[in-house]
Amino acid sequence: MKQYPAVTIFTGTYNPPIDIFRMSLKSILQQNYSGNVQHIVYDGRSSNSAVDLARSYGARVKIFRRSVDEGGSRLYSSLKEAAGELAVFIESDNILPDRDWLRRMVEPFGERGVFCTSSAYNSYEQDMDPLTKYFALIGSPDPTLYYLNKSDKIPITQKNYDKGDIFKETEWYWIVRFDRRSLPTMGDNGTMIRTDVLRKVVRKSKSYIHLDAFAELLDEGYDTYGIVKNSIIHVSRPNIFDQVRRRVAVKRAFSDEKRGKRIYHVMDWASPRDRRNLFKYIVFSLTFIEPLWVSIRGYMKVREPAWFLHPLMCFFMVVGYGWSEVMRYLAIIYSAMYDWYSVRRESQ
């Protein structure tokens, strides 16, 4: 059997759903992979049985205070112990759908210039919740990314990868070059990367945001990816409103509160294409017609009723993000008025 390079798997945890985490750990342990596999779990002091469960499956668990930055200090400390030539992020809600997943993800690294690989698709099992199925069907955990064409995955019905500059295709993968305009939301949920390259963008004193890290690497010349013709399961929250609240919270934490500090912009207001796509997305979502057509067309190819969550998710995400923007601007106006009043009062 061919000897494959050593791999270090990284998983961040804080009270993950135990049943899903167990499925994730089991799928890792069952991999048909001839190289060494090291699994490091960095945990924020979970109060459920996550730590014991991870150890029972052979993972090396590092426990941090919840207040310690997950992407900076936790990953920095864990990365120092990485023995693998390749690093892969498999989160506690990620499940590897087959025994050959690791092997397939490693194969494109034999191509010149490839420093990172990613699955082309999300997938699901038949007994999973409708939202997990829906996000696999459209290839994104947020329909906003679908319409902005920023998701790293493609819809399950799509046969050809349509992002970046594809300059080679084999039976098992595409070799793709990205630029700043075409780079999708790379860096998580099964992303595999050369460990020495990852170390360039993980710093002890700086938060690690995977989108910014991969944009930074792109600026340094790391632009060639292997997009593997396989999938990873990314289990969603089963409740639509929980999912909307989660996405809005992510927007506030990583966009609103870090304005002017980010390298990668999911919605780049300087980009005419992004502005045009956002406008179409809003119109489509509020009128329901186009999302319903996407559902019908998708259902004709893959007979899965979860397609028909698409109009609802589009509508609720537009409402959620819209409300978030209104509240953000109201806070800005209030702050400006308060500052003006304070200055005027002091001058009297």
Q: How far apart are CA 192 and CA 99, in angstroms?
A: 16
Range picked from 162-176, 204-218, 320-334 for highest mean pLDDT: 162-176
Range picked from 66-70, 258-262, 272-276 for highest mean pLDDT: 272-276
Q: How far apart are CA 303 and CA 258, in angstroms?
A: 41
The phi and psi torsions of 192 (rounded to 5 degrees) equal: -115, 140
**Distances in whole angstroms, Cα of residue 52 to Cα of each of 59, 77, 201:** 10, 20, 31
Of the listed ranges 52-56, 69-73, 231-235, 292-296, the one predicted with least confidence: 69-73
Tell me the mean pLDDT in the region 249-254: 89
Residues sharing a CB contact under 8 Å with residue 235, sequence separation 6 or more, in sequence order: 17, 20, 93, 94, 95, 128, 129, 132
| DSSP bridge pairs for 246 | none
pLDDT band for 247, please (50, 70, 90 cuts). Answer: very high
Q: What is the C-alpha radius of gyration for the chain, rounded to an integer number of angstroms? A: 21
| DSSP bridge pairs for 192 | 88, 117
- b/e burial code for range 66-97 (CB count within 10 A of at least 16 → b): eeeebbbbbbbbbbeebebbbbbbbbbbbbbb
Domain residue limits, the chain: 7-128+151-236
Tokens of 216: 């930074």
Q: How far apart are CA 243 and CA 141, in angstroms?
A: 9
Q: How far apart are CA 68 and CA 94, in angstroms?
A: 23
Distance from first CA to last CA of the chain, Å, rounded?
83
Residues sharing a CB contact under 8 Å with residue 332, sequence separation 6 or more, in sequence order: none
Write down the residue that tokens 């210039």 correspond to: 113
Q: How far apart are CA 81 and CA 143, in angstroms?
A: 37
pTM of the predicted model as reported, rounded to 2 decimal places: 0.92
pLDDT band for 68, please (50, 70, 90 cuts). Answer: low
With H, G, I as helix, E, B as strand and everything else as coil, classify residue 37.
strand
| Per-residue pLDDT tens over the stretch 173-209 | 999 999 999 999 999 999 999 999 999 999 877 788 9
Maximum Cα–Cα distance across the chain:
83
Cα 52 to chain centroid, rounded: 26
**CATH classification of 7-128+151-236, choosing from 1.10.620.20, 3.90.1720.10, 3.90.550.10, 3.30.420.40?**
3.90.550.10
Q: How far apart are CA 258 and CA 24, in angstroms?
A: 32
Which amino acid belongs to residue 167? F
User: What is the H or E stretch that residue 38 is in?
Assistant: strand 37-43
Whether 285 has a pLDDT exceeding 90, the answer reads yes
User: What is the H or E stretch that residue 94 is in?
Assistant: strand 94-95
pLDDT value of residue 58: 96
Q: How far apart are CA 40 and CA 55, in angstroms?
A: 10
